[in-house]
Amino acid sequence: MNIPASLKYTSSHEWISCDGKTGKVGITDHAQKELGDIVFVELPEVGKTVSAGKACAVVESVKTASDIYTPVSGTITAVNDGLTSRPELINEDCYTKGWIFEVKLSDPSELNNLLDANGYREVVQ
């Protein structure tokens, strides 16, 4: 299973890649495999204020709709519009082309609450 060491994770299967100020968020390889063919993504609005652990996007497979929880609090600064026409990018490349939204962190210390790759591996094993 692909769990890049450079990322931080939530136990609800989101990843975040962060430089300390803004972070890109997506779902993990484990999550996309469990969901199967992804056919729809509901993106958050740019400029929206979000708080850690709250649902702010929806990823849908053929069978189910799954809420995506932001790992950190802040403001949405960008969304991956490519997912509107090609939601399957999440299946094909969940850690780069399949990112979902970008958030400007309001409290960078929240990053300390997240799992590292080893911690996340324990969650999914």
Partner 1 sequence: MSTKTSLYEKHVQLGAKVVDFHGWEMPIQYSGIIEEHNAVRSKAGLFDLSHMGEIEVSGPQSYEFLNFLLCNNLDRLEYDGRIIYTGMLNEKGGFIDDLLVYRKQRDSFLLVVNASNREEDFSWMQKQAPPFDVRLNDISMKTGLVAVQGPASASIMADILDYPFENLYYYHFIETAFKRIPVIISRTGYTGEDGFELYADWDKLGIIWDALYSAGQKYGLLPIGLGARDTLRLEARYPLHGNDISPDVTPLEAGLGWIVDLNKPDFIGKKVLSSQKKNGVAKKLIGFTMAERGIPRHGYTIFSGDSAVGEVTSGTMSPSLSTGIGMGYVSSCVLEKNENLTVDIHRSRRCLTLHKGPFVSSNIYRKTVKERI
Binding of partner 1 by 36 (CB under 8 A) = yes
Binding of partner 1 by 81 (CB under 8 A) = no
CB closer to partner 1, 6 vs 64? 64
CB closer to partner 1, 58 vs 111? 58
The stretch among 31-39, 46-54, 72-80, 96-104 that binds partner 1 (CB under 8 A) is: 31-39
CB closer to partner 1, 8 vs 30? 30
> Rounded to whole angstroms, how far apart are CA atoms 123 and 23?
22
Q: How many residues bind partner 1 (CB under 8 A)?
A: 12
Binding of partner 1 by 60 (CB under 8 A) = yes
In the list 12, 17, 22, 39, the residue contacting partner 1 (rule: CB under 8 A) is 39
> Rounded to whole angstroms, how far apart are CA atoms 14 and 38?
15
> Rounded to whole angstroms, how far apart are CA atoms 43 and 36?
19
Binding of partner 1 by 46 (CB under 8 A) = no
- List contacts with partner 1 (CB under 8 A): 36-37, 39-40, 42, 58, 60-63, 65, 84
